[in-house]
Structure 1
């Protein structure tokens, strides 16, 4: 195999695929990136961790078609350090790869391409397109609530399913870790009817979000009950789905919370952040005392002392106190884009509903803490 490619192009492709590769691998081939040069002048790069695979294609000058695999992180580091604007010549033969750019020469060991595992996609019967901005919104507004507890593996991703809301077909995305829930509702894209309920794993979500920053327009999504594929222009991301049943999260969304508090999310978030400075790392608990049009935030820490701050807000219901985990509360407030947020409360022990307004696509539920 012999091919020449511009350094910037090679670096961009490698940055897309190399982050899938785990730093510590017991299987040597999984540390490698598959490089395939075809006669039609395309260089295809592929990396996988057996659950997730990313393929990217770039234009190159191919003298001799062929394929080989080489350490992904090493090649990425080399490409990063090569002079800007240089042409990179890649030659592979007899278990070695020679990389020449300007006066720099690197000779790397390779492994045969036949050993490289490829995720077999099988049939992906459901196909639809989503605008790039919609997919970003779905990820950004839900992924902070994905659970990191490996024992509850079915919560380690974003749950996608189609439903009817007030007679309108919608696509819903939800994530929860048992303490908080985030849900986004968007119009159901054409072709998504009859789609199976799927859980997209956390790592796939993170890689997809990185790739979305470099794409515009629409993304083609293809899926089956076990696999999902995203077509992002030159890059294609394929992932296995989490094999599990996501809990019926609609049961925890409160419908009868009658106490309404309206706030400016930014100043409220800053207030929470300030008083939480002295909260102990373990509990991170902040107490909210609600009185008519007055909200007092306070923290009491046995080792650090106390902190309190009054924040403005509109509230006319009965006075009471409730506690929340400061970080969880700030994660949710950080997703509110408008200058007003509605907090629907019931009592100190019941789940609290937080949303921008009743027409906003995103909705959050936060469990209170005893303080």
Structure 2
């Protein structure tokens, strides 16, 4: 194999694919990136057996061929080459090493045969549709923070994507929950998505998809089955296994009868929560909200260090209420709100609270209270 291409193009592609490679691997081939040169292209591919990232970049191919080299070391070499440099990649005659030449720099990397490289991207995918990158980005951004990190309930370790029929028509919905909080957001269902199976996309895959959605106006091709998802974004094709499990009936935890409505300026509220929670301990990050007409008092008491209170003006005219929440969870939710006004719908100190964005009726959050 002998191929030449611009360092900028090679680095961009390597940046996209090398991220899926785990730093520590017991299987040597999984530490490598597959390079395949043919026609006028160089293909780069990496996998961890759950996710597979493939990108094609234009190159001058003098001798076609394929090999694999250590992904992170190859990326670091290319990253440190000067801007605008030409990079030449050539396998040695005995097939033991890849020579990387750029200007006065010359590197030699040990290779493993491309025949050892696993392929998880094969197989039929039953559903196929397109959607704007900005819509998929919104679904992920609004829900990602609520993904569970608890390994026992592995089926909560991702975002649940499915279609639902609503009064406004079919919607494509993303839901994530860790048992303490729930995030749900909808977009209009893309053409071709109706009837798709409900799928749970793993946390690592969600993070990789998020990094690929750089251009809001770009279109994303989504192909999926009940076991696998493939997304094509520009020149990158990302294939991933899905979480094999049943997502819980999340509709049962979304409160319907919360009759106490609180409206508060998002920025004022978030800043006040941030300030008073300075005094809280890492273990118990509870902040108490004391609600009376037109006023909210936030209180944090830490037996080891002291206490803090702050008063915030709010729009509230229901019965007085004391309720506690995890301060970090409140900040996570308020950081997702796009408009200036947050709406809380409350019932009592022991029941889940519904939080919405005054400017986004397609998104809702549910937060379980804490005892304070």
> Shorter-chain TM-score category?
over 0.9
Distance 1:215 1:313, change over 3 A: closer
Is 1:121–1:227's contact at 8 Å kept on the other side of the alignment? no
Partners of 1:135 and 1:104 in 2: how far apart? 41
3-state SS, counterpart of residue 273 of structure 1: helix
Partners of 1:98 and 1:92 in 2: how far apart? 6
3-state SS, counterpart of residue 15 of structure 1: helix
Equivalence for 2:19:
19
Q: Which runs of 5+ in 2 are unaligned?
A: none
How far is 1:61 from its partner? 0.5
How far is 1:194 from its partner? 1.0
Equivalence for 2:50:
51
Alignment of 1:135-214 (within 5 A): 135-166=136-167, 168-214=169-215
Equivalence for 1:318:
319
3-state SS, counterpart of residue 242 of structure 1: coil
Partners of 2:252 and 2:360 in 1: how far apart? 20
Equivalence for 1:4:
4
Distance 1:210 1:266, change over 3 A: same
Partners of 2:170 and 2:105 in 1: how far apart? 58
Distance 1:147 1:116, change over 3 A: same
Partners of 2:355 and 2:216 in 1: how far apart? 31
Aligned positions, number: 370
Is 1:3–1:63's contact at 8 Å kept on the other side of the alignment? yes
3-state SS, counterpart of residue 131 of structure 2: strand
Alignment of 1:170-319 (within 5 A): 170-214=171-215, 216-319=217-320
Equivalence for 1:90:
89
How far is 1:216 from its partner? 3.5
3-state SS, counterpart of residue 267 of structure 1: helix
3-state SS, counterpart of residue 153 of structure 2: helix
3-state SS, counterpart of residue 46 of structure 2: strand
Deviations 1:282-332 (A, max 9, x none): 111100000101000010001110001011210000001000000011000
Alignment of 1:20-39 (within 5 A): 20-38=20-38
Distance 1:197 1:323, change over 3 A: same
Partners of 2:277 and 2:349 in 1: how far apart? 19
Alignment of 1:104-115 (within 5 A): 104-115=105-116
3-state SS, counterpart of residue 226 of structure 2: coil
Partners of 1:358 and 1:34 in 2: how far apart? 46
Deviations 1:106-128 (A, max 9, x none): 01100000000011431111111
Partners of 2:264 and 2:216 in 1: how far apart? 35
Alignment of 1:49-128 (within 5 A): 49-93=48-92, 94-128=95-129
How far is 1:167 from its partner? 5.8
When normalised by structure 2's length, the TM-score is 0.98
Partners of 2:91 and 2:36 in 1: how far apart? 11
3-state SS, counterpart of residue 135 of structure 2: helix
Q: Write out the 4+ residue segments of structure 1 that deviate beyond 3 Å after TM superposition.
A: none
Partners of 1:215 and 1:321 in 2: how far apart? 42
Q: Which runs of 5+ in 1 are unaligned?
A: none
* CA RMSD of superposed structures (Å): 1.0
Is 1:68–1:112's contact at 8 Å kept on the other side of the alignment? yes
3-state SS, counterpart of residue 111 of structure 1: coil
Partners of 1:120 and 1:142 in 2: how far apart? 27
Is 2:133–2:215's contact at 8 Å kept on the other side of the alignment? no
